Amino acid sequence: MMSTKMRQLRFWGDLASAQWGRAAPFKLTYIVTDECSCRCAICSLWQQPRPGAVIDEIERLFAANPQLSWINLSGGDVVERADFEAIVAAAVRHTRVFVLDFPTAGQHPERVEAAVRAVLALPLPRLVVTVSIDGPPELHDRLRGRDGAFERARETLTRLRALRSARFEVFAGLTFSSRNDARPAALVDATLEHLPGVPREHLHFNVAHHAPHYYRNRAGDVPDRQRITAFLRDEAHRRRSHASPFALRWLEATYWQLALDYLDRGISPLPCSALRSSVFVDPELRVYPCATWDHPLARLQQVDYSLTRALERPDARAAAADARALRCPNCWTPCEAFPTILSQLPRAAARASRARDEHANSDPVPDVHGG
């Protein structure tokens, strides 16, 4: 099994070589299951859940793709799988993964804590977990379709924050959608009031996208762009980004500076690196460019589980070119935006600086109730 130091060096090497293009993605988003205890308003996975591939197939997936250095495991809720720890262990054993991250709805606090403790026992250099919290208790429970959902998520967050490790970070994740975007600043303030001890910078934001093949949601679930833009302009003054381009705070700050461009124009602010730096795999091991583009490319079972072989096919090469030229639905979700930023660091930094200056001089948009 590869050492922690070697994983780190290979990850930096991946980021360096990504500036010049790569033969295979280093970042994988893999949906291990659709199963989830919540009944979310902006997601219909729970209505017809797919349980996901069996562990033997998952072993083959990771064994066939040792080049992966960043793995995002998602769902559904990953801890709904009893073998989740075995999935992570397979990833660490077969790949050179340096960063592994996963979100959770936090509805099984003891189970999530046990899973994180098990993962931290592995030689994994970096683990990041996000606990989804989409507003104060009453609103969160309504959006998640479960009474007590907020309290369980808060307990999960509290348990994970108590785990001390230099290799582990945990955040609360708030997704803006048409169901909670009436007053974004007030929503954030009210949420933080119910999360005592959680620093503001540990509350991460996301914007709901229409993802027909993933969340199977409605186009109308996306939030109001003007309101979110106004909130982000104000929020940028509250938070200072870290100077290092490899720091998570720098990456997130750059992501949101560029999100202002995306929200203004509805166009991705950088050429997309989907199928170059990143790739998306669904529970049935079907390959897609990303979470939002409903463009299936291959079943991994058909190519000996090799992402490289799947992406060498003519249709995948054409899709990669289309993504780079933004001939795609255009999105700006962290799953695809983060590797896009990291694979174009100089361009991303310059574009973010320009976006920050442009929006600093823009007239403010009031944070008001609206339809």
Q: 359: pLDDT confidence band, cut at 50, 70 and 90?
A: low
Three-state DSSP state, 241: coil
pLDDT at 23: 61
Confidence check: pLDDT of 297 > 60: yes
Q: What is the pLDDT of residue 241?
A: 52
Whether pLDDT at 77 is above 80: yes
> So what's the pLDDT on residue 86?
98
How confident is the model at residue 247, as a pLDDT? 63
Cα distance between residue 289 and residue 296, in whole Å: 8
Residue 370 confidence class, pLDDT cut points 50, 70, 90: very low
The pLDDT of 157-162, averaged and rounded, is 97
Task: Express each pLDDT in 246-281 by its tens digit.
Answer: 466 788 888 888 998 898 888 999 999 999 999 999
Q: Which two tokens stand for residue 117?
A: 């403790």
Greater confidence (20 vs 300) lies with 300
Q: Per residue in 7-45, pLDDT tens? A: 988 998 998 888 887 667 899 999 999 999 999 988 988
User: Which pLDDT score is estimated for 22?
Assistant: 66
pLDDT for residue 246: 47
Whether 150 shows a pLDDT value over 90: the answer reads yes
Return the minimum-mean-pLDDT range out of 33-37, 131-135, 176-180, 353-357: 353-357
Q: How confident is the model at residue 240 (pLDDT cuts 50, 70, 90)?
A: low
Quick check: helix, strand or coil at residue 298?
A: strand
φ, ψ for residue 319, nearest 5 deg: -65, -40
- Crossing angle (nearest 10°) for helices 225-238 and 184-193: 50
- Please compute the mean of the pLDDT values over residues 227-243 and round it to a whole number: 75
CATH 1.10.3470 fits 4-129+208-218+243-360, yes or no: no
pLDDT band at 127 (very low <50, low <70, confident <90, very high): very high
Residues 145-164 have a mean pLDDT of: 97
pTM higher than 0.85: yes
Output the average pLDDT for the chain. 90
pLDDT at residue 245 is higher than 60: no
Among 67-71, 220-224, 241-245, the range with the most confident prediction by mean pLDDT is 67-71
What local confidence, expressed as pLDDT, does residue 371 receive?
25
Region 178-205: mean pLDDT is 94
In this structure, what DSSP letter does residue 274 have? Answer: B
What tokens appear for 142 in the block? Answer: 């309504």
User: DSSP assignment of 95-146, as one string?
Assistant: S---EEEEEE--S-HHHHHHHHHHHHTSS-SEEEEEEE--SSHHHHHHHHTS
- From start to end of the chain, where are the E strands? 27-31, 70-74, 99-104, 126-132, 168-176, 203-207, 278-281, 286-288, 298-299
Distances (CA, A) of 93 to 62, 86, 89, 208: 8, 10, 6, 34
> Can you tell me the distance from the alpha carbon of 217 to that of 300, in angstroms, rounded to the nearest whole number?
25
How much is the average pLDDT of 86-114?
A: 97
Domain range list for the chain: 4-129+208-218+243-360
52: left (phi over 0), alpha (psi -120 to 50) or beta: left
Closest CA to 269 of 280, 279, 254: 254
Lowest mean pLDDT among 154-163, 223-232, 299-308: 223-232
